Chains A and B, each alone.
Chain A
Amino acid sequence: MRDAAPIILLLVVLSDLAILGTSRLSSCIRGLAAQGFLLGLLPVLIAPQLSVHAVSLAVGTVIVKGVALPWFLSWAIREAAVRREIEPIVGFIASQLLGALAVALAFAIASRLPLHTVQPLLVPVSLATLMIGFIVLTTRRKALVQVVGYVILENGVYLFGLTQTESVPFLIELGVLLDVFVGVFIMGIVVFHINREFDSLDATRLTELTD
């Protein structure tokens, strides 16, 4: 059981890089769903012994991040009738390279941090996911993909939180999950309205308000 965790963490990084490299919105969301499932498996694999806390967290994460969020985002795509992302501000190849750089940086930073966890790969993967989420959030044009970037960012923070499963009670994890879900829900509604008003999801067109 313990050996499965590193593989899952590596798959998480691969899913990050995959989302970074794809231009099709449906692929982005599928990658996100896959990531949600992987993240849901982790609490059960990392916990020293199987507890109600770990199992319920796993189930909650899978439901929210693996099923509910991707389903909702797919609904948003269908409503907005958008299929592809246009060339991002940084360019697909450049963002892939940035992502690789982020992974390298994350591993470098993590090796200097004084943290003793059961799972040594957890900290670098969480930092890498955080950074890649930030890259997606800031360099993509379509508002929906920015939401995906935000979820990836939150996933990175969640991964780091897994190093503290003893300290953070289940109620809080639930609260965090709920917050993320409601946040994405509201973002989705706003995206829907943006599409209606502006007839496109291109967030770089939101430039009316300025000083």
Chain B
Amino acid sequence: MAEKSNNESKEQELVGLLAQFDDPETLVHACNEAREAGYTKMDAYSPFPVHGIDPAIGIKRSILPFIVLAIGLGAVVLGLGLQCYANGQDTFWPFPGYKFLISGKPIFSIPANIPVTFEIIVLSSAFATFFGMWILNKLPRFSNPLHRVSRFKRVTNDKFFLMLETADEKFSRSASESQLNEWGAVSIDEVNQDLTDTELPKWLATVGILGAILLMLPPAAIFSQWGMTNRHPRLHVVPDMDWQHKSKTQTMAANLSNELDGVRLMYDDLRSARRPVDGAIAFGSLDIDSELNYGIKSDFAYTITSGGNALTRVKDDAESDDTEKDDTEKEGDDAAAAAPAEEDNLEKYVTTLPDEFELTEEVLDRGQQRFEIYCAACHGYAGAGNGLVNQRAMALAATGAATWTSARSLHEADVKDDAKNPVGRIYDTITNGRGNMGPYKAQIPVQDRWAIVAYVKALQETGIKSDIPVVEDENASEEKKDENENKDENED
């Protein structure tokens, strides 16, 4: 006999008859019988999928595979499209892509894009399979009249069930029951739908509306600021070393204030860089040794420091400050300095090589090398004033195309004279120039300049005026000898 289900006090409607079987073979047999008897609205229930039950009940093959195929094909477009958008272009507004320039590789290349596309295909197909299956199965379905049948708990364990639904046209309460017994049912239950009107609890409405209002508050707060300006900076959750209390070079000093309009600069003088302390001297700028650096005796020099440099200034003839003179007199001084004859005090120049300069054969060779680099162009390789530049300049001056004062021959008497042209003055000439000769202090370091001075003195000492060696030829005629001698004389 069919047993009534648990809830007898409430209104119920019969949904179907549930028959229990103890093994899958009987179940399949019963399903076949039911289908042949004309039942269509029925279902079998088992703890595992029973082989042969699909045709027994008449289940048609599901369309799920085609859904998955469609989604999978769409994912091909999705995957390639994503990569084309993100890396293949950079013009789409408002979120342009980003074209990576890597070793000249093509901006869009399918081989490189295959791994991600493949994974997207698998992911999309898996989602389609999973959600498609549950949706087609109409699950989750938490309320099911079947669960009210206590015997039905065994369906997930070891028992098998067949339910004939009342909705089927072949269904009849007594006839169906006897058929089920015929087909081998161990027991038969009524499955009843509970029709009691179940209302939602009354407090649910109030709580729901209240909750909805509360949930609207955060987005409302956010959107109230849309299009508004605010003087406060954005909430910056992770500082990420974005504000550093340091100053970059050549900028204004950093503002250390934490208030909105506060100003508290790192340094009062607005600069980010500090000035050197008074009296500080930069490396390599210490030139208090006037003899070495200027060729001037220490009696005639004084040192000032300015802007990180120690500068030696020469005391003038009258030993008075420069500031007492007016401009015209200063100009006069400059003009006087230009004319060799009316020069400033020759006594200020040192007459011997300074102590800090050590003269060795290597230094002298260095002096020769440096002379040949910087000086020989005008003064000639033997210092005879026949350098190519000088020859050319003289030729141009002769035609009136240029004005030029001839480069001196270093062998001339007043150039060799130690009283008129002491070594300090030679050094000064190299350093600051004289006449058409420009200053070489920017190109030649101090020690090299003294080396050149030493070489010049050596040249003057030897009296060699030509860099072309004179070869004594035994068979040369007297005339040729005379010619050579004349030539030497003419090159003076």
Interaction A to B = no
Residues of A within 8 A of B (CB): none
